[in-house]
Every structure is written in C-alpha cells, then in structure tokens.
Amino acid sequence: MAIQQQDFNAMIKDIMGAFPVDTKAFDQSFKTSATLNEKLSNVAIEAAGRSTELSSKWTKDTLARVADLSKAKAEPADYAKAMSDFATYQAETASEHMNAFAEIVKKAQADTVELMMAAGKDYGDEFNASIKKAQTAAKKTTK
C-alpha cells in the first residue's frame, strides 16, 4: 500500500493565503528605520566632527606653548617661570576644553533623545494603523 505524500507547498500557500500580509507596512517600517538611522548617524558624525575640531585646536595651542617653552632663556629663573606659565595655561585650558567636550556630548545626547522620541511616536502611529487595517480586514473576512 502506497503512502500518500502531503503537498507542503500547497499547505503553506493555503495558510499564507488565509492570513493576508500587508507589505506596505513592512516597507514603511523599513523606510522609517532607515531614516532614523540616517538621523542618528548625522548626530554622531556632527559630534565627532566638533570633538575633532576642538581637540585639534587644543593640540595646536599646546604645541605653540611647548615651542615657547623650549626656547633658550637668558636666566635660569626664566625657565622656571616659563614652566610655571605653561602649567597654569594647561590647568586653565583643560577645564575649558573639558566643558566644551561636555557641551558637545550634551547636545548629541539631547538630539538623540529627541530623535528616539519622534521615532517612538512614528512607530506607534504605524503600528496603530497596521492594527486598524488588520482589524478591518479580519472583520471583512469573518463576514
């Protein structure tokens, strides 16, 4: 006696046909995700650029001070004064630059939170629209 083989392809096709899928929702979700990723990347790139500019400026200023520090002096006391001036400059500018870095981070954080809140709203709206559409389709199917 031959065993009859089940046609799984036909069975899956029947199942998928019974549950219609709205590909527009997937497309919209993908577009929303891509847009969010683009905006988040822009925030990170902007912060990295500002941070690099600040770091470069600080390095140039420090190197200029080191050049002044390395110049020959007439008196031994002048070396001590130059070193003291350099240390004072470093202490003062370190605080200023750390505050500037903190401002860059705060702006990036605020922008990220704003983007995430907007994305959450967008995803919520998309989800609600998908649910309403599915409910409508289910009601039509049951009638």
Q: How far is CA 16 from CA 4, 21, 100, 135, in A?
A: 23, 8, 57, 17
Residue 19 has pLDDT above 80, yes or no: no
pLDDT of residue 143: 67
Residue 17 has pLDDT above 60, yes or no: yes
Q: Check residues 143 and 111 and name the one with the higher pLDDT.
A: 111
The model's pTM: 0.66
Residue ranges of the domains in the chain? 44-132
* Closest-CA residue to 50 (of 1, 11, 103): 103
Least confident of 36-40, 85-89, 115-119, 131-135: 131-135
User: Which residues contact residue 100 at a Cβ distance below 8 angstroms, ignoring those fewer than 6 apart?
Assistant: 54
Q: Cα–Cα distance between 130 and 138 in angstroms, integer? A: 12
* Closest-CA residue to 123 (of 23, 32, 26): 32
pLDDT of residue 58: 95
pLDDT of residue 2: 56
60-101 pLDDT, tens digit per residue, is: 999 999 998 899 989 989 999 999 999 999 999 999 999 999
DSSP at 71: S
Q: 2 — alpha (psi -120 to 50), left (phi > 0) or beta?
A: beta
